[in-house]
Amino acid sequence: MSFSFFHLAAPEVAAALERSGLVVIPFGSVEQHGPHLPTGTDTMAARLVASELAAGLDGLLLPYGPYGITPIHAGHPGTISLRRATFEALLADVCDEVVSMGADRLLFVNWHEGNIAALDAVGTELQKRHEGIQVVSAQACYVAQRLYADEGGELTHGGGIEALAVLAHDPSLFHAERAGEAARSERAIAMDDMRRNREVYGYITDVTEIDADGWYGDPGWATRERAVDFAATVASEIMTRVQSIFELRT
């Protein structure tokens, strides 16, 4: 069967929601990823993982749209950023609609860290507004970072793990020859560590603060062999945790 909301007729949507009650929504962004990766890299990655999760959890896959909150890439060709208020309002409307149809569990699958604050805000408000609704957020990009770290995979903007996701989606979209030498300076590493620290952190307002070229990392780490099971690997790790959270809240 199809797990895509868009592929089903109205009675099929109703039957799926009655059976499962789960809607899986992927989130990414449209932003420059250097000369070698497409602007939709984050959205492609999120949809790949979310599709696997919808199939594995018997949920409905509902694409939210390609755009995210990405002001640090504003002004760079290929970047389209939503205001946080726009993103949150649209998401709240979409979720209210599917809840009214019978959804009682929502799984947000995110690949873009600029969306996190907005997803947290909408998720908590939905649970407050709709009694009995469960919302779970999965930061797929961070799960991938942990899973591939021991193999040398790094979650950098335009680097190895993101190149891996693009290879998994469509190998023709990864132009490795354009990337040149691996670009990850000591400054880029330090700036990444600073902004992603869970305890004390600063903010980046323009990606060129990290690297002048607007991307950094080693996309050459990604191979077609590694890409084959990219989505399944990340989704499997997320699925176990999601199931335990749903059981905990039951």
**Calpha distance 119→116 (Å, rounded):** 5
pLDDT of residue 182: 64
User: Length of the chain in residues, anyone?
Assistant: 250
The candidate with the shortest Cα–Cα distance to 234, out of 165, 179, 160, 156, is: 165
pLDDT of residue 192: 87
Q: Considering the entire predicted model, what is its pTM?
A: 0.96
Q: How far is CA 180 from CA 35, 186, 217, 231, in A?
A: 10, 18, 11, 27
The strand order across the sheet containing 134-139 reads 60-61, 22-27, 105-110, 134-139
pLDDT of residue 188: 85
**Calpha distance 22→103 (Å, rounded):** 6
pLDDT of residue 198: 85
Q: Which residues of the chain, if any, have pLDDT below 50?
A: none
**Residue 78 host element (H or E):** none
pLDDT of residue 201: 94
**Residue 123 host element (H or E):** helix 116-129
17, 101 Cβ separation under 8 angstroms? yes
Q: Which domains are seen in the chain, by residue range?
A: 5-249 (3.40.50.10310)
